[in-house]
Chain A
Amino acid sequence: MTSPLVPLPPPDTFDQSSSMWVDEAIWGHRLYDEQTPWLVMLEFLNVFHYELAKGRVFEEPDGLNTLKYQAAQRLHLRNILFNDPYLAEERAEFAHDTNRWDEWLKRMKTAIGIAHPQFGYVRDRFHTYDDFAEIVALIRSSSIEVNSNKRWTSKFVFPYGKNSLYEDLDNNASTNDRRFFGRTGEVLYLMCCRAQRKKELAPALQRCFERTDGTWDAVVKSLQPAEDEPLSRDRANAFLPYTTNACFDDIVEDWLAILRLNITGFDVFPHLVNLAGLHLIKYQLTIARQMLGFPDPPSFVCEVVAPRKTLVREISCEQYQENNLLPARAIEAYVAKVEASPEWQQALTESGAFEKCRAILIDKLRWGDDDRDYSGPNDPQQLLETLRQAAMRRHRQHVANIHRNYGRDIGLVSKRGTIKLRYAPNDSLLKTLLFANVNKRIELDDFLAKLERRYGIVFGDREAERVLPKGDFDKKAFRANSRRLEQRLGSLGVLKRLSDACAYVINPYHEESA
């Protein structure tokens, strides 16, 4: 953990980047808050399936950060599912099946993003228009973020199989504008590529897909033409700045633990998504702390929601705020590092210092080459200050929100019972953590110690004593917190108290494992 950060050189296409390279240099290209953990998973699966078919999954055969893949677009399917709000109306308006089909086919001639829309094949796949409409309604109802008001090209079918995967597209359905597939799934894929147990992950994920009921993927396929639709152009430029990191190993280890459990069919996906979100948060904060020179990994003091305000809640709120500011502080530290670099210091002493300093920023950070970036006096200090402000402004737009947005999405962060955000895991996340960390059964105290050791998650008094400064620590409050956790786990059916002294956390899915 305390080893200094040794980032990889920027990718070859770095000089084509139109925006500054600060967040990307620290965390990769890129973490993007508007891409929810579910969409991160979908983007990851797009890459996974493409690379799997090419026989190079979780390898980077051409060198680090050279990932290049193509994604499916499945515009016939998407036009039917998400760009046709009038499907049900035909059922009401026309009594005869033939008229319904005719009307629908006429309307689908204006489908977007397809050169010559031909939807006649759909008619051959269903006995009646009613059947077709029922199936469409069913698939729509199970789609990801089903009630979102996102554009139709940013709506996604549940990942039933490879026929249900495709990339996000712009309004015209022509290209991926990186609005909701902001490459965080690609970063996640690269993290897996650099994990020690990556070789075990590919077969485990493959088994997971094989084990799921193929019916649903076949049904989704039935809405697509028989001949293959064209794939996207090459998607490249994903970048992960580190060769190794404990976070990369941790996510793969957790996914393997979940995939080993044989949780039925598609029920495994929410756990994989929760863990992806959690490890991306942990990655962001861990790197920020390393950048700031802190020796310890981040910790998350979690409140098990109490009926009234407790000391644990207060500490959790404070710690949330502290952690939330870490990435911004890392940006400051990065700019300070540029200023302290021998190159910059040398430039300051030479004639034409301003132009030389500006050249350093253009070369290293892709910033400062036009008046929109900087139009102030020829003063290196002023130049650097403007860079700092611009970097912070850009950081606040997206990367700074990862901790909050992902935290809320996976159920780690909550405002429940208060007006401030703090760590208060919900049942879904608690179950995910339990399934990933308990083989058959484990004593509650050992479980709490494991959560602290692996994630920095603190519930009980022993862990709090280790993590918190003496002034903040209150044994009684944390004991009450772990008692509430015990009750919560009991109510979830995953904790048994055999005697007054011994509470066991149990994993009900363990016995099913192969």
Chain B
Amino acid sequence: MLLRVFFTPDLDVPFDLTLIRYEFLSRIAMEGALPASFSKECYEDLLAFKSQLIATYTKRQERDGAIQGTAVRLGLLALTDQGMPDPRYVEVIP
């Protein structure tokens, strides 16, 4: 199955979502940790995919012209004691 992440109608990143990759992602989603029973190949494939997503996102920003504000807003993600995501936003005025 081909997964395609669209940033704009003409800017997308394809990813061949094989059964193994799907299972790998499902296990991470369920267990919250990288499963050790999978080969590193899945992990490396996803790192390359992530890299392509970020590069395409940057390309879109360059094309559209990113909105430049005076403040930098960062979203920091931590985990609570129960292992739940705990987002926190910090603003910096450079």
Contact = CB atoms under 8 A, between A and B. Distances in A.
A386 interface: no
B16 to A, nearest CB: 12
B92 interface: yes
A166 B42 CA distance: 39
Interface residues of B, number: 21
B76 A138 contact: yes
Interface string B70-94: 0010101000000000001011111
A174 interface: no
Contact of B92 (A222, A262, A491): A222
A215 B76 contact: no
B48 A491 contact: no
A491 B40 CA distance: 5
B94 A222 contact: yes
A264 B54 contact: yes
A211 B44 CA distance: 23
Interface of A is mostly: helix
A491 B39 contact: yes
Interface in B13-60: 39-42, 44-45, 48, 51-52, 54-55, 58
B74 A124 contact: no
Given A219-B94, A490-B41, A492-B44, A264 B51 contact: yes
Nearest to A125: B93
B55 A135 contact: no
A379 interface: no
A125 B92 contact: yes
Contacts of B93: 124-126, 222
Contacts of B54: 264-265
A491 B44 CA distance: 8
Interface residues of A, number: 29
A165 to B, nearest CB: 17
A134 interface: yes
Contacts of B74: 135, 138, 215, 219
Contacts of A493: 40-42, 44-45, 48
Interface of B: 39-42, 44-45, 48, 51-52, 54-55, 58, 72, 74, 76, 88, 90-94
20 contacts: A125-B92, A125-B93, A125-B94, A126-B91, A131-B90, A131-B91, A135-B74, A135-B92, A138-B74, A213-B58, A215-B72, A218-B94, A219-B92, A222-B72, A264-B54, A491-B40, A491-B41, A493-B42, A494-B44, A512-B55
Q: Which 8 A-B pairs have the closest CB atoms?
A: A493-B44, A508-B48, A264-B51, A131-B90, A264-B54, A222-B94, A493-B41, A493-B45
Interface of A: 124-127, 131, 134-135, 138, 211, 213, 215, 218-219, 221-222, 262-265, 267, 427, 490-494, 508-509, 512
Given A124-B93, A265-B58, A493-B44, 18 more contacts: A134-B88, A134-B90, A135-B90, A218-B72, A218-B92, A219-B74, A221-B94, A222-B72, A222-B93, A263-B51, A264-B51, A264-B52, A264-B55, A427-B40, A490-B41, A491-B44, A493-B40, A493-B45
